[in-house]
Structure 1
């Protein structure tokens, strides 16, 4: 199988899995909104914003390190083993901090003491996430995307099924968190068994000296881990500041959580759902570009980057048009919330930069530019926190929308500039920007004409 066919095959599998996951996630969020309400949805999002710090600590960097090391020809078992030990150590430390500090986090940071138990229920899932991250990195390196997709689907099934079954026995919030932990455990069990069977049949090549391999792991994983953890910390700070800023603006305690829940729990899932058709390419680009960079195939790297930029912008301009035209019907259909539709239409124009930034980030990691992405992400997150702390108490939700727009423009501009410099590409304004924009505009007028007739 040629690399193009292999790439398309893996992209189709990952895309199909991502679309299925996003669809079931949106449907599950509709159910959660019905059980928790807008303010409960806000608290649910805040709990996961804190938990994401621990998830970032034990998964960020290790998956990329495994993918890069295996794709570059290092031994499978030493690469996965070293990364897994690192991930498990970090997950144990992160879980201990969460478990011991759950009371303080719930009462002081979240302002809801009842959130302590849900936080503790999430802790046992951290080691499972750490193991899964390493195994997924290996399967991605060997271009086997079917097994990671199957693991994610199994996780989603267990998370949703267990959560719904447990709601009749314990509180809805506890049921959702315990369901999430059971889902992670099921995925870890499946992927672990598949990995052991695969490695036993094909043990892979020899590794270099242990000290060299460890240094390689840290060279790849440490910048990504540090950068993602710092950014995740800032993001969690941002998520805590948003409800407080809206409350200071005059929304009230329940109202501020409701507004935050609408944006993060309703608008953003719909805004990001179409990205499931292209985000699998981000992970697929890493081993492909790593191989080409290691062998010095600059022209091949340029062709791949050029094609990715063009197709991503064409797709995202079409998505922007569809979201602008159908924003309110979509939000009414899924969440029965008109305010979410208004916010979705306002946020739609940022989609091209949002999607392009994801693709560019994946390509930069494949080209060993993770330190640059660390700097950009840190600067972006720091500015977001500062703007939210200063502007939200004065301007409310309008300021939050402005911050989201500014963040995407700032981060995407830096990342795109870095990719162009590393690959020595020049921007084709007509092919990359003008034609996709004209396509989106024509589609808008066509859909507007159809809706007027109907």
Structure 2
């Protein structure tokens, strides 16, 4: 058998991610115009709890399954693939049921004492029955990532967004006039039903493909389910523990932000509005280009695991080096874009709220935020979950320190400064671990100097490009879209001219195939 390289899988995920992000932006713009910045702030209080639960349950299982499936696939022990997936499905479903029970019994305490807003009670209640179903999807996602067939997960992600948007649009007229509590619950219900639709589609695809594939007769290299469960737990627990700790700290960090804004002199309504604009509007815009790095991070885990199991160390170094280089290119390009057009981009998407100033200061976080995702995928692929946990905790402690001490004095700018410093420090620690483990050489010239130079050129010419398109149209929205697209194309062209992006290297990454018996 043969399969596409990890980059071809990443490209499929990128295309799906692009569609998902577009749907997500349409949804967020619709929702923010519907419930306002205070409503978005209330909804964002639920998001850290949701992330804490779901990411903790799903991240470890998904990575464990993708690694184990990739290793068994590389050794041609095909009989183990479905056995691994089944065991992981049962584990994640059981863990989801346990967590749901805990939330149900402590729901009042979470809403009143942790989130400090009783209006979140109904949203928490909606999450309870959905958690086990959402958790179970991680096993199937890990299976598809492991065999590097990402199309099913890509389609399911798009289906999830369609369901979420449809649910909210259908329910908006009934819930929005009932108050922010019900509007927030409506958004949470859409999010939960979207995740359930995601799993349902994955199960259907898995069942259909199972029927069409020939029955596996050979029992070569078969693993006992007891051993499989032990291996899953061995890999998943450190990853889930890492994600749990970082999610708890992130939840604490986000819940603390509106409280420290209160200490800075804002009233509760104003602090929730500012919090909603930051976390519900500006940050999702900044993270939009990260669909590339998140796709790379997902596909790097099985790709590196497979290469390590086959002792292909040169392949590991090449994939890691080029992934980091692509991340720096992306980071410098979009740092320039958000620095050049913050008010224009914010204005055409969120007309009721001014988020341009937030986009401008958050632009400086782009490079480090994207690089963190790629390096996390590399470390997970190399089995360095403990190291990534330690470094993530250090970054969270730095950010929480800035939230507590800097926000009352300097507002949101103080928090963004903390993001830049913490993410930069974490990237240095993660990169040092990768270099020490692989022996890879840091290519300052092609990673930082050349892409950084092109970023400066893009920033310098951006206003001229905007003025040029202004000759042909009076629409600010059309002018902004054309200027941003032209800037990105010019940036990519210049990257190719100076040799940062090389056609033969991209073809080699995309077309590379691993032959199997």
TM-score range, shorter chain: over 0.9
Q: Deviations over 1:106-130 (max 9, x none)?
A: 2222232222011111222212211
2:107 paired residue among 95, 102, 106: 102
Partner of 2:246: 231
**Aligned match of 1:169:** 174
Report the alpha carbon displacement of residue 311 of structure 1 after superposing the two structures with TM: 1.8
Question: Which residue number in structure 2 is paired with residue 369 of structure 1?
Answer: 384
Q: For 2:148 and 2:378, locate their aligned partners in 1 and report how far apart those are by CA, in whole Å.
A: 16
- Alignment check: 8 A CA contact 1:248 1:393 kept: yes
Q: Distance in 2 between matches of 1:203 and 1:20?
A: 35
Instruction: Show the counterpart of 1:28.
Output: 27
Partner of 2:272: 257
TM-score (structure 2 length as normaliser): 0.84
Alpha-carbon contact 2:42-2:184 (below 8 Å) kept: no
Query: Quick check: 1:138 aligned with 2:138?
Result: no
Query: CA 1:23–1:95 in structure 2 vs 1: closer, same or farther (change >3 Å)?
Result: same
- Could you tell me which residue of structure 1 aligns to residue 335 of structure 2? 320
2:206 is equivalent to residue 195 of structure 1: yes
Q: How high is the TM-score relative to the length of structure 1?
A: 0.95
Q: Give the SS at the match of 1:123.
A: helix
Unaligned runs of 5+ in 2: 176-181, 471-517
Pairwise CA distance, 1:431: 1.4
**Counterpart Cα distance in 2 of 1:387 and 1:351:** 19
Aligned to 1:91: 96
- Structure 1 residues 402 and 136: alpha-carbon distance in aligned structure 2, compared to 1, 3 A threshold: same
Partner of 1:185: 196
Q: 1:202 to 1:323 in 2, by over 3 A?
A: farther
Pairwise CA distance, 1:77? 2.6
Q: Say whether the 8 Å CA contact 2:18–2:291 is kept in structure 1.
A: yes
Deviations 1:281-327 (A, max 9, x none): 11111111111111111111111112112222112211111111111
Determine helix, strand or coil for the equivalent of 1:86. helix
What whole-Å deviation, never above 9, does each CA across 1:50-74 have from its counterpart, x for those lacking one?
2222112321200001100111106
2:52 aligned partner: 53
Structure 2 distance, partners of 1:24, 1:193, is: 23
Corresponding residue of 1:298 = 313
Residues 38-93 of structure 1, C-alpha deviations (whole Å, 9 max, x = no match): 11110100111122221123212000011001111061232112222221122112
1:146-161 maps to which residues of 2 (within 5 A)? Answer: 146-161=151-166
Counterpart of 1:381 in 2: which secondary structure?
Answer: helix
Unpaired segments of 5 or more residues in structure 1?
none
Instruction: Count residues in correspondence.
Output: 453
1:100-156 deviations in Å (ceiling 9; x for gaps): 222222222223222201111122221221121110110111111111111111111
Q: Secondary structure at the match of 2:173?
A: coil
Q: 2:429 aligns with which of 382, 406, 414?
A: 414
Structure-2 separation of matches of 1:315 and 1:58: 30
The CA deviation at 1:338 is 6.3
Helix, strand or coil at the partner of 2:174: coil
Moved over 3 A (4+): 5-9, 202-207, 451-454
For 1:238 and 1:278, the matched residues in 2 are separated by 24
Contact 2:87 2:225 in 1 (8 A): no
Give the superposed CA RMSD: 1.8
Map 1:433-444; keep pairs closer than 5 Å.
Answer: 433-444=448-459
